[in-house]
């Protein structure tokens, strides 16, 4: 028996290692996408540069939008691995992998070894989980912490005298709070409330020592909030009202960028996309959940089902919903889906399951058909310089998807369910490897890396960088990240365009227009105005001076807005761009042009 368990564990470890390799593949191969990745990266980098782990800074000024946990994790990674894209994205990738491990563990305890391995396979290649472990956003980290919180709550309910599960549950709640703010603890507590109502058991709070737990969560998380409020008076009011209450009612300032917003129907649709390909099983999974609830695992089923539903239902009626808010729903859905699929493997000739085989075959045929309409489909994609490369990438992907879904469909119809699962698994691995290549191809559209690195080689360190501005200041953060990447401050420098931390460490920042238009209003945090803001009049004054200055246009401007033409904020006598990479244009004053590399003119 021990030999069997040891062999089984070895197989599971190999499968989890494979999942890790898939999750981290390619995370360092492309520049920071803006604005979302830029702000996380630069805040973490500034924690190291300023040696200040309390107040988050972005581009030299306090940035008080979010709690610090993800910033801390990225800063630690940067300290260990250096200022690279790999180091920036590694914490989220590892968080995604931990989510896979907990999904494996919980599924194993509920439905056995086979179901747990299916769960690993499914979550590793779930569309949303893969994409958002390769893009730096909070939601995968939050999704994993919510999953772990619910798991330890379930264990605490069954073993209420366990101090390990008590501390683990409330520690996870504290980390949720330090990750996303108060919304981070609303979801697990709502799950607990749902459990109390459904079970009609008001003794549950006493059973899990809820009031002691709240004191523990407060003791762990409150010191940071107090420290930030002390360093930045007004932070708590701003954080509670602007970042929570006003965001709920879509009154947050500055408003979220339009590209991430989505309608209620679109939110359901994009959630279905994030769950691909396993969303196909949703009707059967719902039926399976009801059967499991009636038969066994009631506490677990309730917690998992609520954890799946809440990120979808809570944000559905809110106009402030963003496309990635439903990502935390993926791990709980995969647990239920893996339980259902494992159950299906034990059923002989289950006729109704064959409908999924027909759907899979239809998807495969559709992928083949899409090849013939590829030229028309490519028109929908943003134009890039290496369009031929993206064309050559998409065709093999469509062929791979077609073969994978056709094989899976035939296997399902022939009741070869494990073969169908493996077919989809390896098909999606190949597809996602191509997706990471796509991130690299499209980095010129969404990252300032190429522009900064190309221009920096032709400009001196004293050059003043000015950004037109954007609704999301994270774009300026990404520019600052690359300006400081593996560089140190010279012994003497012009103070404008540089800031100094607590212990005398100086680093470069990007100046940002304060009056660049309604589409690019800067954030308004408690305290004095950020030192990086300048007016158009000041820009013109610096432009006419002897100091080298470059001006970068806003690549996120709303296309077709007649009130916001591309030349709206250009200085007088700006001339032609010194450098143009995709939607970004870099202009230089006379001094910058005189020092510019001749090869780039």
- Tell me the per-residue pLDDT of 512-531, one tens digit each, with 9 for 90 and over: 998 888 777 777 788 788 88
The mean pLDDT of 262-282, rounded to a whole number, is 93
One domain, residues 203 and 318: yes
Asked if residue 37 is part of any domain, the answer here is: no
Closest to 256 (Cα-Cα) out of 442, 43, 472, 84: 472
Residue 542 has pLDDT above 90, yes or no: yes
Asked if residue 426 is part of any domain, the answer here is: yes
Asked if residue 105 is part of any domain, the answer here is: yes
Higher pLDDT, 387 or 273: 273
Higher pLDDT, 457 or 382: 457
pLDDT for position 90 = 98
Asked if residue 196 is part of any domain, the answer here is: yes
Token pair listed for 528: 């004095």
Token pair listed for 401: 């998807």
Residue 2 has pLDDT above 50, yes or no: no
Closest to 270 (Cα-Cα) out of 463, 415, 84, 132: 132
One domain, residues 427 and 504: no
Q: Token pair 């008080």 is at which residue?
A: 64
Return d(Cα 109, Cα 112) in angstroms, integer: 6
One domain, residues 522 and 464: yes
- What are the pLDDT digits (tens) for 384-439? 665 666 777 888 999 999 999 999 999 998 888 889 999 999 999 999 999 999 89
pLDDT for position 519 = 73
Q: Which of the listed residues 422, 441, 460 is the one where a domain comes to its end? A: 441
One domain, residues 144 and 217: yes
**Confidence band (pLDDT; 50, 70, 90) for 34?**
confident
Task: Tell how many helices (H) and how many strands (E) occur in the chain.
Answer: 26, 10
Residue 110 has pLDDT above 90, yes or no: yes
One domain, residues 331 and 473: no
Farthest CA pair distance, the chain: 81
One domain, residues 404 and 460: no
Q: By CB neighbour count within 10 A (0-12 exposed, 13-18 middle, 19+ buried), where does 477 fall? A: buried
One domain, residues 370 and 339: no
Residue 488 has pLDDT above 80, yes or no: no
One domain, residues 174 and 311: yes
Asked if residue 53 is part of any domain, the answer here is: no
Q: How far is CA 281 from the centre of its chain?
A: 25
- What are the pLDDT digits (tens) for 117-176? 999 999 999 999 999 999 999 999 999 999 999 999 999 999 998 999 999 999 999 999
SS3 content of the chain, % helix, strand, coil (to 5): 65, 5, 30
CA distances (Å), origin 559, targets 412, 469, 478? 46, 15, 22
User: DSSP code of 247?
Assistant: H
Residue 3 has pLDDT above 70, yes or no: no
Domain that holds residue 499: 448-600
Return d(Cα 167, Cα 175) in angstroms, integer: 12
Picking from 42-51, 265-274, 504-513, 544-553, which range would have the lowest pLDDT averaged per residue? 504-513
- What are the pLDDT digits (tens) for 4-16? 477 888 999 999 9
One domain, residues 228 and 175: yes
The mean pLDDT of 176-194, rounded to a whole number, is 93
One domain, residues 160 and 238: yes
One domain, residues 174 and 92: yes
Q: Which of the listed residues 441, 467, 488 is the one where a domain comes to its end? A: 441
One domain, residues 368 and 428: yes
Instruction: Tell me the sheet residues that pair with 580.
Output: 585
Instruction: Specify the number of domains making up the chain.
Output: 3
Asked if residue 75 is part of any domain, the answer here is: yes
Asked if residue 365 is part of any domain, the answer here is: yes
Instruction: Tell me the sheet residues that pair with 579.
Output: 586
**Confidence band (pLDDT; 50, 70, 90) for 85?**
very high
Residue 464 DSSP SS3:
strand
- Contacts of residue 416, defined as CB under 8 A and 6 or more positions apart, other chains included, come to none
Report the mean per-residue pLDDT for the chain: 89
Closest to 335 (Cα-Cα) out of 285, 273, 276: 285
The mean pLDDT of 576-593, rounded to a whole number, is 92
Return d(Cα 211, Cα 149) in angstroms, integer: 17
Q: Which of the listed residues 345, 369, 384 is the one where a domain comes to its end? A: 345
Asked if residue 57 is part of any domain, the answer here is: no
Residue 534 DSSP SS3:
strand
Highest mean pLDDT among 116-130, 194-208, 253-267, 368-382: 116-130
Residue 601 has pLDDT above 50, yes or no: no
């Amino acid at each position: 028996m021990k030999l069997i368990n040891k062999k089984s564990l070895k197989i599971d470890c190999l499968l989890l290692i494979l999942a890790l390799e898939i999750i981290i593949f390619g995370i360092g191969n492309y520049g920071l996408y803006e604005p979302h990745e830029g702000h996380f990266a630069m805040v973490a980098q500034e924690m190291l540069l300023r040696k200040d782990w309390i107040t988050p800074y972005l581009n030299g000024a306090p940035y008080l939008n979010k709690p610090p946990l993800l910033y801390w994790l990225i800063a630690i990674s940067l300290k260990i691995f250096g200022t690279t894209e790999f180091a920036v994205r590694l914490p989220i990738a590892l968080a995604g992998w931990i989510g896979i491990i907990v999904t494996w563990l919980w599924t194993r305890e509920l439905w056995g070894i086979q179901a747990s391995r299916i769960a690993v396979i499914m979550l590793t290649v779930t569309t949303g989980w893969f994409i958002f472990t390769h893009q730096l956003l909070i939601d995968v980290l939050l999704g994993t912490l919510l999953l772990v919180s619910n798991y330890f709550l379930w264990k605490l309910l069954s073993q209420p005298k366990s101090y390990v599960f008590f501390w683990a549950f409330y520690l996870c709640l504290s980390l949720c709070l330090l990750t996303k703010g108060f919304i981070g603890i609303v979801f697990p507590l709502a799950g607990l409330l749902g459990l109390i109502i459904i079970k009609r058991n008001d003794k549950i709070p006493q059973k899990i020592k809820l009031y002691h737990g709240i004191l523990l969560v407060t003791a762990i998380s409150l010191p940071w909030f107090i420290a930030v409020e002390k360093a930045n008076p007004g932070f708590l009011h701003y954080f509670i009202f602007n970042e929570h209450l006003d965001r709920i009612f879509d009154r947050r300032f500055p408003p979220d960028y339009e590209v991430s917003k989505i309608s209620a129907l679109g939110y359901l649709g994009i959630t279905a996309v994030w769950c691909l390909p396993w969303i196909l099983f949703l009707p059967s999974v719902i039926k399976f959940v009801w059967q499991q609830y009636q038969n066994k695992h009631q506490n677990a089923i309730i917690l998992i089902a609520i954890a799946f539903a809440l990120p979808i239902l809570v944000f559905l009626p809110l106009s402030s919903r963003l496309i990635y808010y439903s990502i935390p729903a993926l791990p709980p859905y995969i647990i239920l889906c893996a339980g259902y699929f494992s159950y299906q493997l034990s059923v002989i000739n289950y006729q109704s399951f064959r409908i999924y085989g027909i759907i899979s075959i239809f998807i495969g045929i559709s992928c083949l058909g899409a090849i013939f309409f590829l030229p028309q489909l490519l028109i929908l994609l943003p134009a890039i310089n290496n369009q031929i490369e993206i064309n050559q990438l998409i065709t093999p992907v469509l062929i791979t998807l077609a073969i994978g879904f056709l094989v899976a469909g035939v296997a399902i119809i022939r009741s070869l369910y494990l073969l169908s699962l493996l077919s989809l698994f390896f098909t999606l691995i190949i597809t996602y490897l191509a997706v990471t290549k796509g991130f690299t191809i499209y980095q010129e559209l969404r990252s300032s890396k190429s522009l900064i690195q190309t221009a920096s080689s032709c400009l001196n360190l004293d050059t003043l960088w000015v950004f037109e501005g954007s609704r999301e200041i994270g774009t300026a953060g990404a520019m600052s990240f690359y300006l400081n990447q593996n560089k140190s401050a010279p012994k003497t420098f012009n103070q404008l365009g540089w800031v100094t931390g607590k212990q005398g460490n100086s680093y470069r920042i990007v100046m940002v227009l304060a009056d660049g238009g309604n589409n690019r209003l800067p954030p308004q945090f408690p305290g004095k105005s950020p030192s990086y803001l300048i007016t158009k009049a000041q820009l013109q004054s610096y432009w006419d001076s002897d100091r080298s200055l470059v001006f970068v246009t806003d690549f996120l401007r709303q296309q077709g807005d007649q009130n916001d033409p591309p030349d709206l904020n250009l200085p007088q006598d700006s001339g032609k761009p010194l450098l143009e990479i995709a939607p970004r244009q870099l202009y230089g004053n006379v001094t910058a042009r005189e020092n510019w590399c001749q090869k780039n003119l």
